[in-house]
Structure 1
């Protein structure tokens, strides 16, 4: 399961405040930035990512103590997990830095983790990508962050996406733009063109007399809105390919046409 975010992560301020032991118990969030192909961002799908995070030390099972040693109350906080001091006329309470809010310390530290109870690991995690992600889209995967050795609880994993460019389309919001070249004859007389969209091929009619730079709209063939699922539109930009006219018969035909239509040249 994942949650979708468009800015920020977990809340801040009062909603995240708690006792020192509650703070120590909460696992730490991990943020990973990944780049995905344009097509995957449009259609959605899955990918596997490698996540560096903290897990419990296998040697001490997360308590930070060397095998056979005891856990004793922290001398700095007396086992409360907090320390207090006066500052500017106020009494300040904060997490004990010596025991990280646990209230206890190992009489002899685990040599493998240095008494933290934690060790590094790299975990492969499958990420489901919703259709329509764009640069900066952030999703949260619960309980896949770093672990807290205090209460064996994991934080969350945040994945931030960067979308690669497309060799075919330009994306503006949920709309896609696609350029095609047509001949002068097709522009003057009209034609039909087979257009490749992310959802498949679509045949569009080119109206007679169309000009370079014109946009033809194909409804709802763009990118799905990541919140509502409603697709954007697909726009075909027309470029009329003007051939170079050689001397002789071709030139005479064009000159005759220009005179009949009173066209300057």
Structure 2
């Protein structure tokens, strides 16, 4: 079943400001929050849908990709919706929920105790003009944190284990009550003995010093589809930094940079180029050999072609990354005026000018007729 448009889910216009999007989200989150609708599966489903929409529209980078590519721009290569609270998204979204219900004794340390998604990784990849037009597979390399192989991410040396912290009984936090004029308030703070981890490693892994992770050089292959342009983003789920407290890893975002071409320029899906032609070709017409992204093609220009004339080669442009068709190629011909002529060539040109008179220069004649009309001379 296809997903609903995220703007429709939150009930906002596509040009809505960030504050308006956030207000709409908070209002709907309050209405469909599971705590207010216990046992209501419909409310729970809507709550997840609302959070998925806000995760994208509440993040300017993700919103830009969604506006450009739709769901494919934020779900590429296996990226998911509701599960993908990258970076600070998880805390930002559920922090709003805590604000909605007035805190209720929740502290910032408690919010951070649960599973948290790892940070997203941004990687910039340059490709050639042709690679952008036809698509390409690239192998990219970057450093990221991964589970230590020696201890399998436990942080404990081989043959040893971690034990539950005796001070917090594995909760990672310590609670204590305090009486105030407003009544008894329960305060929560991270456990100092285990630094909020809930466990104590007696014999740390010598390779990672008890951290449980090590920084490694990661190498993966990325398929770049045809039609991408500078600023296009390809998302790959689960290739970001490791999650915390059992949370999922972050995502990898490959930002594309297309290098300029010596001949072609691009505007959307259309390709443009200029071809110099001789005076004789412009006057008499000729069959030109035109370069395209798919190779050279023949194109016949008519007699009397003027400099600056633009011809269109249908479907010789760039394919849409969303399968919306293919652009065209536009060829601008520029008449090249020779700078060095022999005496014989000059005589031929003078004879041509003498024989032709005003009749063969229609645009020039029309222009000076207009001048006479304006100035009377």
TM-score, L = length of structure 1 = 0.80
Encode CA deviations 1:59-88: one digit per residue, 9 max, x unaligned.
2110112334442345786533467899xx
**Among 59, 62, 65, the residue aligned to 1:7:** 65
Are 1:31 and 2:122 matched, yes or no? yes
2:223: which partner in 1?
Answer: 128
Moved more, 5-14 or 52-61: 5-14
Larger Rg: 2
In structure 2, do the counterparts of structure 1 residues 143 and 201 end up closer, same or farther at CA, with 3 Å as the change threshold? same
Q: Which has a greater percent of helix? A: 2
Give 1:148 deviation, angstroms.
3.5
Give 1:100 deviation, angstroms.
7.8
Residues 37-186 of structure 1 mapped to structure 2, 5 A cutoff: 37-74=128-165, 79-81=170-172, 102-148=197-243, 150-151=245-246, 153-186=248-281
Q: In the comparison of the two structures, how many residue pairs are matched? A: 257
Structure 1 distance, partners of 2:159, 2:211, is: 17
Question: Does the 8 Å contact 2:314/2:327 carry over to 1?
Answer: yes
Give 1:109 deviation, angstroms.
2.6
For structure 2, the residue ranges without an aligned partner over 5 or more in a row are: 1-61, 67-73, 75-83, 98-110, 365-377
Structure 1 distance, partners of 2:309, 2:138, is: 38
In structure 2, do the counterparts of structure 1 residues 246 and 128 end up closer, same or farther at CA, with 3 Å as the change threshold? closer
| Corresponding residue SS for 1:251 | helix
Question: Does the 8 Å contact 2:115/2:243 carry over to 1?
Answer: no
For structure 1, the residue ranges without an aligned partner over 5 or more in a row are: none
Moved more, 53-62 or 196-205: 196-205
Q: Which has a greater percent of strand? A: 1
**Larger relative contact order (Cα-Cα within 8 Å, sequence gap ≥ 6):** 1
TM-score, L = length of structure 2 = 0.58
Are 1:224 and 2:319 matched, yes or no? yes
Question: Does the 8 Å contact 1:132/1:223 carry over to 2?
Answer: yes
